[in-house]
């Protein structure tokens, strides 16, 4: 039975489910719509780690957007930083954070370098965290 669905999956060739990696999918989105909104973030919700030189701060309580082009620019810079830290393909990296733009950008940066990412929520119990890491 398992082989049946795997065979059906192999035969299904719709371009929407191509065998692209996440970074390849982002690159394709950037090519199609570099100036369209890729993500949004809310001002004043948490202490920012991305400085205004990287991305503008959203006004307190309001949302600001990041274009696909800016999203790529930022995650590529983060990827270069991970390179400098010695992160290489196959390395396992845990991201411990609340859901936020920086998390998504770091995740994409690590995936673009072949990293294996484990996400740990700040609400995770010690047992869950130990299991994930």
Q: Where are the domains of the chain?
A: 2-132
Sequence-distant contacts of 94-100: CB under 8 A, at least 24 apart: 94/118, 94/119, 94/120, 94/132, 94/133, 95/119, 95/120, 96/120, 96/122, 96/129, 97/121, 97/122, 98/46, 98/122, 100/41, 100/45, 100/46
For the chain, 133 residues long, give each residue's pLDDT as a single digit of tens.
Answer: 556 777 777 777 766 666 678 888 888 999 999 999 999 999 888 777 777 888 888 899 999 999 999 999 999 999 999 999 999 999 999 999 888 899 999 999 999 999 999 999 888 999 999 998 8
2-132 under CATH 3.40.50.980, yes or no: yes
Euclidean distance between CA atoms 103 and 19, whole angstroms: 24
Tokens (6 digits) for 18 = 């191509």
Predicted TM-score of the model (pTM): 0.78
| CA 101, 104, 106, 109 torsion-angle sign | negative
């Amino acid at each position: 039975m398992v082989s049946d669905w795997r065979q059906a999956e192999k035969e299904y060739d719709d371009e929407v489910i191509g065998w692209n990696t996440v970074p390849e999918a982002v690159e394709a989105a950037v090519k199609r719509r570099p100036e369209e909104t890729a993500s949004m973030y809310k001002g004043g919700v948490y202490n920012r780690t991305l400085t205004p030189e990287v991305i503008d701060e959203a006004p307190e309580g309001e949302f600001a957007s990041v274009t696909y082009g800016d999203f790529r620019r930022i995650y590529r810079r983060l990827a270069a930083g991970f390179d400098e830290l010695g992160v290489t393909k196959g390395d396992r990296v845990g991201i411990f954070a609340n859901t936020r733009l920086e998390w998504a950008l770091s995740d994409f940066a690590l995936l673009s370098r072949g990293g294996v990412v484990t996400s740990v929520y700040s609400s995770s119990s010690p047992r869950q965290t130990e299991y994930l890491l």
